Amino acid sequence: MPRYAGPATYARLPRLDEVGAADVAVVGVPFDSGVSYRPGARFGGNAIREASRLLRPYNPAQDASPFALAQVADAGDIAVNPFDIHEAVETIEGAADELLATGARLMTLGGDHTIALPLLRSVAKKHGPVALLHFDAHLDTWDTYFGAEYTHGTPFRRAVEEGILDTSALSHVGTRGPLYGKKDLDDDAKMGFGIVTSADVMRRGVDEITDQLRQRIGERPLYISIDIDVLDPAHAPGTGTPEAGGLTSRELLEIVRGLASCHLVSADLVEVAPAYDHAEITSVAASHTAYELTTVMTRQIADTKGADGRTPTPGR
């Protein structure tokens, strides 16, 4: 089957209903009712799936065949109400609970960043308060927008308030751009977040930054949340709130690879808006980032099970 043909599951993987159970479930959340600027991320999950057709079974950067190390399957999309944010948040949390109860880790494709809150709630039920690495141009720790407490700019403030994050191990990576005021940074620091700006990555380099992040995380269960706008608009134009001066796709991929020793329990990748994405640049970057995150998870699962799985195997 040519790679451009056939069902558009993530990386041409089997559907979850075809294999019955999975160690890593790739699940879409087509929801963008929490955005404050340009909409369209509800179409992001399927755009990432389409761009992932060219992914191959062997990952040389991590010397692993992720889909041979553990069962990875596409769990389809969580059907959420686009008109009621509160109901949508509850639906996402419930669906994540069901998937995590099977023993799977989640690789979630958004959708806007509102979805991180219910996903973190679900993960914390299983692991307790988790360490968080948040890759984003923005803090996403604001209080409300127009009086709304659930938006794509508020999930991590709500998560801190609810006690589902380990506040000794919280980091933003790639932040940049104007804020509403210095109080934004002061409030963020009070919540326990450390900040690695995109300029820090440029000046200090990927290896030093990644080592700093690993030390902060330690052996805690880790959740990674990636807003694709952490990348510079040259590398990710297809997003709702672009900011100049971001990471390159190479820097993002290298940082994720450098976190392979961390205990990654689940992850999300959000804010891909294909309507603004020239030549699928953003979707391709997102598909490769999800691939690296999935590889990290499957390597850890294989190590736990005592599997080898390093030999490349044919893809579907």
Q: Which residues are annotated as a binding site?
A: 113, 136, 138, 140, 227, 229
CB 164 within 8 A of CB 130: yes
Token reading at 256: 């994720």
CA distances from 76 to 117, 141, 221, 225, 235 (A): 20, 29, 25, 19, 27
Residue numbering of the annotated binding site for Mn(2+): 113, 136, 138, 140, 227, 229
CA neighbor of 136 nearest in space, from 169, 177, 162, 175: 175
**What is the rounded distance in angstroms from the CA atom of residue 48 to the CA atom of residue 293?**
14
Q: Which residue bears the tokens 């209080």?
A: 143
Tell me: cis bond preceding 111? Omega within 30 of 0 counts. yes
Whole-Å CA distances, 296 to 12, 293, 312:
19, 5, 16
Pair 165, 126: CB distance under 8 Å: no
